[in-house]
């Protein structure tokens, strides 16, 4: 694979793993550290893909499957993979038009694009790639780079509803990174589906990294609302059962999640679900929820079957 420019996430995504990369990398399977080779890599909750891009830059990944249930995110990945130059042209135009404006005009431009993006959804063909995908991906990246806090958030109808960030000089079209990401994705299968769809690709030669939506630390916390499909405790249980099934298959499994003990020392939810596996608590910086209660250093869970 071409490694001239190191690929980085092309979107800022809730739960991005940049903060935890060193902790995760230190816990890679020994044989991967020694050989530098990952035969098959599967990431069933890929989000922004920080860990995948990091691994791509440092290791030789022979096969990879990146999965996420968010269809807007996967439209973005497909377009970056298949038509990076057309995307760069489209996004570059949005950038030029936006940066030429000042003050209120910028904010009006932002809300116009947001409106177009949400209306486009009504008749969008998510099944087969066409020219509209390029426009939609350019809107997605534009909104992600100019919205408040740079996150992707949808309401129950699936509409993007983040207000304008009104930053002075946002980088909207990072052409070099789009090309680098596109190269990194050339031999990667991108799948828009529930995490269980990863099953056919996993055997004893597979390394799987799970980064599911965090379990909210408090009842009011809204960490899991990055998409209209929320991830409940029943889903966490479904995932833990899947983890046990893949363990029996002999795959190497790494998983991260929030630590319920941060808010309630008696909460053993994950300790019980993953009993018998290697459960560690590591320090992480968190600043994702708007009321500030999740900021600062707290522990997160890293769970492995090796
Ligand atoms: C914590 S984020 C992943 C963060 C990512 N690892 C990163 O570094 O940016 C969790 C992701 O899981 C996805 N998701 C939620 N429910 C899912 C499901 N049932 N199956 C697959 N993906 C799901 C969300 O769309 C979201 O992108």
Tell me, yes or no, whether 82 and 227 share the same domain. no
Distance 209 CA to ligand 1 centre (A): 11
pTM of the model: 0.92
Tell me, yes or no, whether 64 and 205 share the same domain. yes
Distance 225 CA to ligand 1 centre (A): 11
**Does residue 72 line the site of ligand 1, with CB under 6 A?**
no
**Does residue 138 line the site of ligand 1, with CB under 6 A?**
no
**Does residue 159 line the site of ligand 1, with CB under 6 A?**
no
Is residue 137 within 8 A of residue 87, CB to CB? The reply is yes
Is residue 294 within 8 A of residue 287, CB to CB? The reply is yes
Does residue 237 fall inside a structural domain? yes
Does residue 1 fall inside a structural domain? no
Distance 198 CA to ligand 1 centre (A): 13
Q: How many domains does the chain have?
A: 2
Rounded distance between C-alpha atoms, residue 234 and residue 24, angstroms: 26
Does residue 185 fall inside a structural domain? no
**Does residue 231 line the site of ligand 1, with CB under 6 A?**
yes
Tell me, yes or no, whether 256 and 294 share the same domain. yes
pLDDT at 224: 45
Tell me, yes or no, whether 284 and 220 share the same domain. yes
**Does residue 15 line the site of ligand 1, with CB under 6 A?**
yes
Backbone angles phi, psi at 4, to 5 degrees: -60, -50
**Does residue 213 line the site of ligand 1, with CB under 6 A?**
yes
How is residue 49 annotated by DSSP? -
pLDDT at 252: 98
Does residue 182 fall inside a structural domain? no
Rounded distance between C-alpha atoms, residue 168 and residue 70, angstroms: 30
**Does residue 211 line the site of ligand 1, with CB under 6 A?**
yes
Range of the domain at 295: 18-69+193-304
Does residue 7 fall inside a structural domain? no
Tokens of 82: 């298949």
pLDDT at 15: 78
Name the residue of 46, 208, 242 to mutate for ligand 1: max ligand atoms within 8 A of Cβ.
Answer: 46
Quick one: the chain helix, strand, coil %, rounded to 5?
45, 15, 40
Q: pLDDT tens digits for the chain (306 residues)?
A: 454 789 999 999 987 787 899 999 999 999 999 999 999 999 999 999 999 999 999 999 999 999 999 999 999 999 999 999 999 999 999 999 999 999 999 999 999 999 999 999 999 999 999 999 999 999 999 999 999 988 888 898 989 999 999 888 999 999 999 999 999 999 999 999 999 999 999 999 999 999 999 888 765 545 444 445 589 999 999 999 999 999 999 999 999 999 999 988 999 999 999 999 999 999 987 655 544 454 567 899 999 999
Tell me, yes or no, whether 42 and 104 share the same domain. no
**Does residue 258 line the site of ligand 1, with CB under 6 A?**
no
CATH number at residue 211: 3.40.50.150
CATH number at residue 112: 1.10.1020.10
Distance 45 CA to ligand 1 centre (A): 4
Distance 256 CA to ligand 1 centre (A): 12
Distance 12 CA to ligand 1 centre (A): 13
Point out the domain boundary residue: 117, 151, 177: 177
Point out the domain boundary residue: 119, 153, 177: 177
Tell me, yes or no, whether 172 and 89 share the same domain. yes
Is residue 49 within 8 A of residue 76, CB to CB? The reply is no
Tell me, yes or no, whether 197 and 286 share the same domain. yes
Tell me, yes or no, whether 131 and 33 share the same domain. no
**Does residue 223 line the site of ligand 1, with CB under 6 A?**
no
Does residue 246 fall inside a structural domain? yes
Tell me, yes or no, whether 122 and 256 share the same domain. no
């Amino acid at each position: 694979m071409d490694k001239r420019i190191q690929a980085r996430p092309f979107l800022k995504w809730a739960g991005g793993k940049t903060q935890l990369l060193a902790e995760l990398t230190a816990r890679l399977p020994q044989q991967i550290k020694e050989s530098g080779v990952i035969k098959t890599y599967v990431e069933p909750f890929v989000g922004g893909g920080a860990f995948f891009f990091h691994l791509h830059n440092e290791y030789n990944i022979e096969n990879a499957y990146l999965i996420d249930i968010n269809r807007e995110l996967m439209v973005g990945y497909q377009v970056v993979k298949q038509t990076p130059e057309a995307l760069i042209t489209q996004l570059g135009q949005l950038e030029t038009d936006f940066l030429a404006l000042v003050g209120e005009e910028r904010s009006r431009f932002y809300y116009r694009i947001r409106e177009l993006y949400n209306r486009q959804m009504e008749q969008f063909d998510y099944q087969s790639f066409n020219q509209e995908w390029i426009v939609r991906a350019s809107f997605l990246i534009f909104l992600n780079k100019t919205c408040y806090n740079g996150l992707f958030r949808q309401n129950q109808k699936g509409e993007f509803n983040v207000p304008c960030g009104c930053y002075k000089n946002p980088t909207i079209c990072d052409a070099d990174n789009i090309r680098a990401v596109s190269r990194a994705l050339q031999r990667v299968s991108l799948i828009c589906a529930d995490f269980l769809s990863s099953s056919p690709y996993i055997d004893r030669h597979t390394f799987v990294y799970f980064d599911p939506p965090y379990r909210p630390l408090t009842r009011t916390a809204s960490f899991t609302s990055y998409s209209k499909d929320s991830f409940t405790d029943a889903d966490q249980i479904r995932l833990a059962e899947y983890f046990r099934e893949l363990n029996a298959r002999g795959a190497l499994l790494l998983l991260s999640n929030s630590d319920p003990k941060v808010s309630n020392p008696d909460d053993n939810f994950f300790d019980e679900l993953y009993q018998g596996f290697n459960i560690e608590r590591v320090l992480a910086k968190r600043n994702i929820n708007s009321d500030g209660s999740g900021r600062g250093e707290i522990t997160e869970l890293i769970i492995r079957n090796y």
